[in-house]
Amino acid sequence: MRSTFVRGGAALGAAALALTAFTACGDDEGNGKAGGRKGGDAAQPVDVTPAAAVRKATEKAEEFTSLEYRMAGEVPGEGVMEGTGAISMEPPAMQMTMTVDGATPDESGEMEIRLVDDAMYMNLGEEAAAQMGGKTWLKIAMSDAEGGEGGNPLLEMKQADDNPAEEAQMMNAADDLKKVGEEEIEGVETTRYTGTVTLDDLRAELTGLDAKAKKNRQEKIDEMAEQGVDEFTMDMWIDGEDHTKQFRMQAETKEGPLDTTMTFLSYNEPVTVKAPPASETTDMNGMMQDMEGAEGGA
């Protein structure tokens, strides 16, 4: 069952990436589809500098409520992933289906995760059901996740709305931003921009941030430094309404290459996430107590 939890943590990490890039996709009029101009219209006015275009996109979404996205890429230590998901910011809820192609069969497979009502539900599949009384879903309540050592993907997912623009905003630190050209993404005309960001670039911006943003940025710097990342490349595809249609991040880590792409399919559309039927769900806390009891009896 360990490999299943590993895949679940990776899937939540991918969802967190979607959240951090979220602010770049908002619609200040509350419209639903992440669209843009189609056909031959220019995606961005010709007099907009790359820095101004990226900054405007990262500041666009103060009124977002939800996001539907597709994710694909390679995550160090986990393997090649692809999946789809939907996230609601208020109330917090998330549903994601992720396929992982890991280094071994045990580390590969499909994972579905739901976050709703202060709990995370993981569909562990038929193989794990044999260890859970025939039930395929595992419930981890928020209260059970608190107080543990190290990073907890459930808590990270719950707290991601503290600064959902963090990853996308980091692109503003690049001093080599440039326009790549016009590209069509999901039938939408966009302009692609790219830039390289170093950890020193991010540190140089710390003094201009408020206390909360500074804390979040420092934590991100420390996390990336621990992963052996010194610099990373970001690409942003911006449509004709200054909304991010796609976002890519690439870096070299101690465990190998990181290369993830988020494509935004819609935003500010209703997202409904339901908890799995209780008859198909095992509670994590109860399962651990049963295991401890069995060990004590032995």
How does the average pLDDT of the chain come out, rounded? 76
Amino acid in position 279: S
List, for residues 185-227, the tens digit of each pLDDT value. 999 999 999 999 999 999 998 988 888 878 888 988 998 899 8
Rounded Cα distance between 246 and 238, Å, is 7
Rounded Cα distance between 103 and 90, Å, is 37
Per-residue pLDDT at 27:
39
Rounded Cα distance between 230 and 247, Å, is 20
The domain of 279 spans 2-297
Where is 290: in which H helix or E strand?
helix 284-297
For the chain, the domain total comes to 1
Whether 246 and 262 have beta carbons less than 8 Å apart is answered as yes
Name the least confident of 35-39, 116-120, 172-176, 199-203. 35-39
CATH value at residue 19:
2.50.20.20
List, for residues 43-57, the tens digit of each pLDDT value. 444 557 999 999 888
Rounded Cα distance between 206 and 210, Å, is 8
Q: What pLDDT band is residue 149 in, cutting at 50, 70 and 90?
A: very low
Question: What radius of gyration do the chain's Cα atoms show?
Answer: 20
* Number of Cβ atoms within 10 Å of the Cβ of 282: 21
Q: How far is CA 212 from CA 166, 201, 256, in A?
A: 12, 19, 31
The pTM assigned to this predicted structure is 0.76
Q: How far apart are the first and last CA of the chain?
A: 22
According to DSSP, the residues that pair with 196 across neighbouring strands are 233
Rounded Cα distance between 123 and 110, Å, is 9
Structure tokens that stand for 143 in this block = 């209260």
Give the strand pairing for 92-101 and 79-89: antiparallel
- In this structure, is the dihedral angle defined by the CA atoms of residues 265, 270, 271 and 276, taken in order, positive or negative? negative
Whether 24 and 243 have beta carbons less than 8 Å apart is answered as yes
Whether 155 and 146 have beta carbons less than 8 Å apart is answered as yes
List, for residues 223-258, the tens digit of each pLDDT value. 889 989 999 999 999 999 888 899 899 999 999 999
